[in-house]
């Protein structure tokens, strides 16, 4: 399974729609996308994970790295996720305390 990334500006933030699997093979693509957006001056990001089918520890590392990257510019990285299997991963790892997780893009913005 591949990873599809689509970015758009919405409500003063940059929304990245993520679809597919975020794993050891595809995570670098997401890392590069976040880095490119931050380098271009987008410091307030929303990652829409509603179409993500799989997330491993490498993917979690990319999300944490992205959060650190935007925070160095006083930015933010919010997640949109309602899938219980992904939310369980965030709860088990304690990342629900680190990330703002929202049920939809509108509430994340």
In a domain, 108, yes or no: no
- pLDDT of 26 reads 97
**What is the domain-level CATH number for residue 49?**
3.30.750.24
pTM: 0.95
Domain count, the chain: 1
pLDDT tens for each residue of 39-69: 999 999 999 999 999 999 999 999 999 999 9
Residue 5 pLDDT exceeds 80: yes
Tokens found for residue 41: 């001056």
Residue range(s) defining the domain that contains residue 14: 3-102
User: What is the strand order of the sheet 44-55 is part of?
Assistant: 3-10, 13-22, 44-55, 76-80, 100-102
- pLDDT of 64 reads 98
């Amino acid at each position: 399974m591949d990873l599809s990334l689509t970015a758009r500006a919405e409500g003063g933030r940059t929304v990245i729609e993520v679809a597919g699997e975020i794993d050891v093979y595809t995570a670098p693509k997401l890392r590069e996308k976040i880095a490119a957006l931050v380098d271009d001056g987008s410091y307030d990001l929303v990652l829409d994970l509603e179409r993500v089918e799989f997330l491993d520890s490498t993917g979690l590392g990319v999300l944490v790295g992205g959060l650190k990257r935007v925070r160095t510019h006083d930015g933010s990285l919010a997640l949109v996720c309602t899938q219980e299997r992904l939310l369980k991963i965030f709860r088990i790892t304690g990342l629900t305390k680190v990330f703002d997780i929202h049920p939809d893009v509108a509430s994340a913005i």
